[in-house]
């Protein structure tokens, strides 16, 4: 069995992934800002699990991630799911900066810390949770869309870097479409909504197969192809919220 750390495990996709991995008998490390929520999730898991409070925006986040790895006696997979959005339709710079700090700077911090650990271990897998918004910009939250485009491009570059350096580190970019979490509550135009359980099952499968990238649910892969060739008028219709 494997050892997995999920950063951003307190709700939504992260929480569902924790349950999925635990149900399969894997050891799970739960990391997020809110300890009470992590403790509640831990009480529902059937396999061995560990907790660490990590705020990816804090200076000690890298140290805490390494501490969790040490407590677990090493890990095989690190899933970076921490991320926020502002789907209220305003362009507040204060909120925009918070999204960039979390989804971009915080993400890179966790990814580089994970990479350096796996490089020393000479094996491992980094999984980043991006979004269909990486290629389908949302008018309701341009900063969120841009941050997810950064995540996907960063992961692609990291994969190429790993191959060039021959570091034996797998990189997986997960791009969910609409998933039934609190993040999409205020979005009016949404379709193909998946439950967190179904999303977690497909993400788990993609990670196990070490896919370079995967759209969740699978039908979004077809949508992604169409998005690349859609006339601007149709694209605007799909992205209005």
Catalytic residue among 21, 117, 144, 154: 144
Contacts of 148 (CB under 8 A, 6+ apart): 83, 103, 130, 131, 133, 134
Please say whether the beta carbons of 40 and 61 come within 8 A: no
For residues 97 and 93, give the distance between their C-alpha atoms in angstroms, rounded to a whole number.
Answer: 6
Burial class (CB in 10 A: 0-12, 13-18, 19+), 151: buried
Active site residue 115: no
CA–CA distances in Å: residue 100 to residues 84, 154, 202: 9, 14, 27
Tokens representing 6 are 């999920």
For residues 96 and 104, give the distance between their C-alpha atoms in angstroms, rounded to a whole number.
Answer: 11
Please compute, for residue 139, the number of CA atoms within 13 A of its CA located in the half-sphere on the CB side: 10
What is the set of active-site residues? Answer: 144
């Amino acid at each position: 069995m494997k050892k997995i750390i999920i950063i951003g495990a307190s709700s939504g996709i992260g929480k569902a992934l924790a349950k999925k991995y635990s149900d399969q008998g894997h050891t799970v490390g739960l990391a997020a800002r809110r300890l009470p929520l992590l403790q509640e999730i831990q009480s529902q898991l059937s396999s061995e699990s560990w907790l660490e409070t990590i705020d990816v925006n804090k200076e000690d986040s890298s140290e805490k991630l390494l501490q969790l790895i040490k407590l677990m006696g090493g890990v095989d997979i690190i899933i970076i799911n921490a991320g926020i959005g502002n789907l209220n339709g305003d362009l507040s710079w204060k909120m925009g900066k918070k999204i960039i700090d979390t989804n971009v700077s915080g993400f890179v911090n966790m990814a580089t810390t994970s990479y350096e650990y796996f490089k020393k271990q000479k094996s491992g897998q980094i999984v980043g949770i991006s979004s269909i918004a990486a290629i389908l910009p949302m008018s309701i939250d341009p900063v969120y869309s841009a941050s997810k485009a950064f995540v996907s491009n960063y992961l692609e570059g990291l994969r190429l870097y790993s191959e060039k350096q021959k570091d034996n580190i797998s990189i997986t970019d997960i791009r969910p479409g609409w998933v039934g979490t609190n993040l999409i509550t205020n979005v009016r135009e949404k379709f193909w909504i998946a439950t967190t359980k179904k999303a977690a099952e497909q993400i788990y499968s993609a990670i196990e197969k070490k896919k370079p990238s995967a759209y969740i649910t699978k039908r979004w892969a077809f949508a992604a192809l169409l998005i690349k060739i859609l006339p601007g008028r149709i694209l605007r219709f799909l992205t209005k919220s």
